[in-house]
């Protein structure tokens, strides 16, 4: 959700963290309604008896698409849709996971270790990406444990730093390549803008990183004209210009 200037530092701001960055970017693909069925199961006991909601972003507001109750670890959404969209599964105001609302039978599994969505092409593609990114993120997180083990093994401190810095650089490059590759392959469907939203939601305010600059240099008109992408790039460009003005004036940012 993009918002106006921040009074504190005059940077163009947006607060996606409340929604855990997985807000939807609906794209109309069909003019007629089609049937969706989403069946889920959970081994997380705290979900039993809770209401779950599918929510999407419409006119800069979260709106409910569907709801259901978890009964003995089982839940089901069903209804009609006339546009493929990326939605988010919520429990009350807590975001749980993203998925794509598309034609077919969608299967959701939730346990303490992971969440997954399968059964339709875009959901299969999305969760293949999410699982691969989680694998790389876990490898990056493990570097601190590797450092502790190397220290216990008596390795030279400088050598430890050299090895771990090289490994971190390799994993970060792999992560960047994965994200850029995924978004670029999905420029013209809901996954491209949706994952772009996930990527940019981690920033305190819209900026243009080398990763985003690389993406936009090859983006299709369809992706560039997406409402979220357009608004983000507008605010990010203004912020970059403001930061440059502050640096030139010796004020920092």
Which residues have a Cβ under 8 Å from the Cβ of 158 and sit 6 or more positions away? none
The secondary element (H helix, E strand) that includes residue 124 is: helix 121-141
**Does residue 112 lie in a domain region?**
yes
**Domain assignment present for 156:** yes
What does the pLDDT profile of the chain (253 residues) look like in tens digits? 454 344 445 555 544 444 444 444 444 334 456 888 999 999 999 899 999 999 987 776 788 999 999 999 999 999 888 889 999 999 988 889 999 999 889 999 999 888 999 999 999 999 999 999 999 999 999 999 999 999 999 999 999 999 999 999 999 999 999 999 999 999 999 999 999 988 898 899 999 999 999 999 999 999 999 988 999 999 999 999 998 888 888 776 5
H or E segment and range at residue 193: helix 191-200
Burial (CB < 10 A; 0-12, 13-18, 19+), residue 246, is middle
The Cα–Cα gap between 199 and 202 comes to 6
Domain extent, residue 28, equals 2-248
225 domain-assigned: yes
pTM for this structure?
Answer: 0.80
Give domain status of residue 48, yes or no. Answer: yes
Longest dimension (CA), the chain: 67
227 belongs to a structural domain: yes
| Domain-embedded: residue 11 | yes
Has residue 253 been placed in a domain? Answer: no
In this structure, is residue 145 part of a structural domain? yes
How many folded domains does the chain comprise?
A: 1
- The radius of gyration computed from the CA coordinates of the chain, to the nearest angstrom, equals 21
């Amino acid at each position: 959700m993009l918002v106006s200037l921040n009074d504190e530092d005059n940077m163009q701001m947006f607060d996606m963290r409340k929604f855990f960055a997985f807000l939807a970017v609906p794209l109309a693909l069909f003019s007629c309604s089609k049937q969706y069925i989403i069946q889920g199961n959970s081994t997380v006991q705290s979900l039993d008896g809770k209401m779950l909601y599918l929510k999407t972003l419409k006119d800069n507001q979260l709106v409910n698409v569907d709801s259901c109750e978890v009964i003995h670890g089982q839940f089901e959404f069903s209804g009609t849709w006339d546009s493929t969209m990326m939605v988010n599964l919520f429990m009350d105001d807590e975001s749980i996971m993203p998925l794509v609302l598309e034609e077919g039978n969608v299967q959701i599994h939730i346990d303490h270790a992971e969440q997954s969505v399968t059964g339709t092409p875009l959901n299969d593609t999305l969760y293949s990406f999410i699982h691969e990114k989680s694998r790389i993120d876990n490898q990056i997180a493990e570097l601190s444990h590797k450092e502790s083990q190397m220290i216990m093994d008596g390795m030279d401190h400088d050598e430890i730093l050299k090895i771990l810095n090289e490994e971190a650089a390799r994993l970060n490059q792999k992560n960047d390549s994965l994200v850029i590759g995924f978004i670029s392959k999905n420029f013209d469907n809901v996954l491209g803008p949706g994952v772009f939203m996930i990527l940019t939601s981690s920033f305190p305010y819209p900026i243009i990183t080398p990763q985003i600059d690389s993406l936009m240099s090859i983006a299709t008109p369809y992706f560039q004209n997406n409402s979220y992408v357009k608004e983000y790039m507008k605010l990010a460009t203004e912020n970059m210009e403001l930061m440059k003005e502050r640096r030139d004036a010796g004020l920092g940012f």
